[in-house]
């Protein structure tokens, strides 16, 4: 038994991360009806702040009780019709689950696999898009199994040049609020994430933001949506109502988590540092964590600096050490680590 150790900023497991007192206090909010005007305003704020956090003006957020995986479901069942093609860029094992999810809802999936510790190369993406028509391309911003950071600013450019109708979907479960994401300017069509990582809120909230282009593609479907719980046909009117500070119902939202998310977003958006400074700070701290770890003998998993994530670190064990040597020593120092995940580097 040995493994790759994944460190996450603020916590040191790859999520859930630590919560601030304000967030925990909000999570203990007394019972509120999801149909009450007070709650509708808080929900509306969350929708607006989520959009701002992704530097988007008009994209459509969906906040639903669930986890990050529910975002993969929403994409697969609302944006891809059975029999259509999807291209999955593989930089770690969360691409495998996205591919599995897409196939469950009837997509034909091709994957481009990067080398271990690397991201998929632009030239390979370009070739794939020239060879076949794809409805969507998915990319994992930071894959939690490898800590590889993909270049989600460059990829939409390639896609736009070669295949302008193809939607760019970013799995940002491990990156939102730790890494900069300029959804509007970079031309990203879907950002999907969850509450429990960079957003510092307890797990249980699926957060997905769709560009107006993606919403249009959804609305122009020729076949019915293939999910019920995650159906945008059901959720679009609800999210639009809450955005206007009025309540609507399809399925009960996770009310307390919305209060907690509100507290966390408020701290992120109105804290003492600007969003820009926040991302810079994350970068700096990340470099220091990785440097310190390397000084004591760990080796970072990603091979080159340009693919190193800032919100988390994945490290190879020092030569000659095993997990059973290291973990008890770290535990003694109060450090919790997660051993995981990428099948081909298990045990290192």
Ligand X SMILES: Cc1ncc(COP(=O)(O)O)c(C=O)c1O
**67 contacts ligand X (rule: CB under 6 A):** yes
**73 contacts ligand X (rule: CB under 6 A):** no
**Cα–Cα distance measured from residue 22 to residue 271, given in angstroms and rounded to the nearest whole number:** 12
Sole binder of a copy of itself in the list 61, 117, 187, 202 (CB under 8 A): 202
- Which listed option, ligand X, a copy of itself, none, makes contact with residue 321 (CB within 5 to 8 Å by class)? none
Count of residues making up the chain: 348
Cβ burial, residue 344 (10 Å; 0-12/13-18/19+):
exposed
**198 contacts a copy of itself (rule: CB under 8 A):** no
**Cα–Cα distance measured from residue 113 to residue 12, given in angstroms and rounded to the nearest whole number:** 27
- Contact range with a copy of itself by CB under 8 A, out of 99-107, 108-116, 282-290, 292-300: 99-107
**Cα–Cα distance measured from residue 298 to residue 277, given in angstroms and rounded to the nearest whole number:** 28
Please give the structure tokens belonging to residue 220.
């122009």
Sole binder of a copy of itself in the list 107, 137, 159, 338 (CB under 8 A): 338
- Which listed option, ligand X, a copy of itself, none, makes contact with residue 143 (CB within 5 to 8 Å by class)? ligand X
Cβ burial, residue 43 (10 Å; 0-12/13-18/19+):
buried
State how beta strands 148-149 and 142-143 pair: antiparallel
Sole binder of a copy of itself in the list 2, 221, 250, 348 (CB under 8 A): 250
The smaller minimum CB distance to a copy of itself, of residues 26 and 155, is found at 26
Sole binder of a copy of itself in the list 5, 15, 147, 186 (CB under 8 A): 15
**Cα–Cα distance measured from residue 100 to residue 126, given in angstroms and rounded to the nearest whole number:** 23
Number of H helices, E strands in the chain: 12, 13
Sole binder of a copy of itself in the list 58, 164, 224, 328 (CB under 8 A): 224
Query: How far apart, in Å, are the Cα atoms of 179 and each of 111, 159, 212, 225, 267?
Result: 24, 21, 23, 32, 16
Taking CB under 8 A as the criterion, which residues in 63-82 touch a copy of itself?
65-70, 72-73, 76
- Which listed option, a copy of itself, ligand X, none, makes contact with residue 239 (CB within 5 to 8 Å by class)? none
Taking CB under 6 A as the criterion, which residues in 80-119 touch ligand X?
94
Please give the structure tokens belonging to residue 127.
């070739």
**Cα–Cα distance measured from residue 273 to residue 125, given in angstroms and rounded to the nearest whole number:** 36
**Cα–Cα distance measured from residue 302 to residue 176, given in angstroms and rounded to the nearest whole number:** 20
Taking CB under 6 A as the criterion, which residues in 11-30 touch ligand X?
15
Residues of this chain that interact with a copy of itself (CB under 8 A) are 11, 13, 15-19, 24-25, 27-36, 65-70, 72-73, 76, 100-101, 104-105, 194, 196, 202-206, 224-231, 250-257, 336, 338
Binding site for ligand X (CB under 6 A): 15, 67-69, 94, 140, 143-144, 171, 173-174, 194, 251-252
């Amino acid at each position: 038994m040995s493994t790759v150790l994944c460190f996450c900023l603020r916590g040191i497991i790859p999520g859930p991360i630590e919560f601030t007192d304000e967030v925990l206090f909000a999570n203990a909010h007394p019972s509120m009806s999801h149909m009450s005007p007070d709650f509708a305003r808080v929900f509306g704020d969350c929708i607006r702040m989520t959009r701002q956090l992704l530097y988007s003006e008009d994209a459509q957020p969906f906040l639903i009780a669930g986890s990050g995986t529910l975002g993969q479901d929403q994409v697969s069942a609302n944006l891809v019709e059975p029999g259509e093609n999807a291209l999955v860029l593989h930089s770690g094992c969360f691409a495998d689950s996205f591919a599995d999810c897409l196939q469950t809802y009837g997509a034909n999936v091709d994957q481009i696999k990067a080398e271990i510790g690397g991201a998929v190369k632009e030239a390979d993406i370009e070739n794939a898009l020239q060879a076949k028509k794809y409805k969507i391309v998915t990319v994992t911003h930071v894959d939690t199994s490898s800590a590889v950071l993909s270049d989600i600013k460059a990829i939409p450019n390639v896609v736009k040049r070669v295949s302008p109708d193809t939607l760019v979907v970013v799995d940002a479960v491990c990156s939102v609020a730790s890494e900069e994401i300029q959804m509007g300017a970079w031309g990203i069509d879907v950002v999907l994430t969850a509450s429990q990582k960079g957003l510092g809120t307890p797990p249980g909230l699926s957060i997905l933001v769709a560009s107006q282009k993606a919403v249009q593609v959804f609305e122009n479907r020729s076949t019915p949506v293939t999910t019920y719980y995650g159906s945008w046909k059901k959720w679009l009117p609800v999210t639009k109502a809450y955005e206007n500070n009025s309540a609507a119902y399809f399925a009960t939202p996770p009310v307390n988590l919305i209060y907690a998310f509100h507290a966390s977003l408020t701290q992120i958006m109105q804290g003492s540092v600007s969003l820009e400074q926040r991302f810079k700070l994350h970068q700096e701290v990340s470099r220091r964590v990785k440097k310190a770890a390397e000084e004591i003998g760990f080796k970072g998993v990603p091979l080159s600096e340009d693919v190193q994530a800032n919100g988390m670190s994945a490290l190879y064990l020092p030569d000659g050490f095993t997990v059973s040597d290291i973990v008890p020593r770290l535990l003694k120092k109060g450090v919790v680590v997660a051993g995981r995940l990428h099948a081909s580097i298990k045990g290192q």
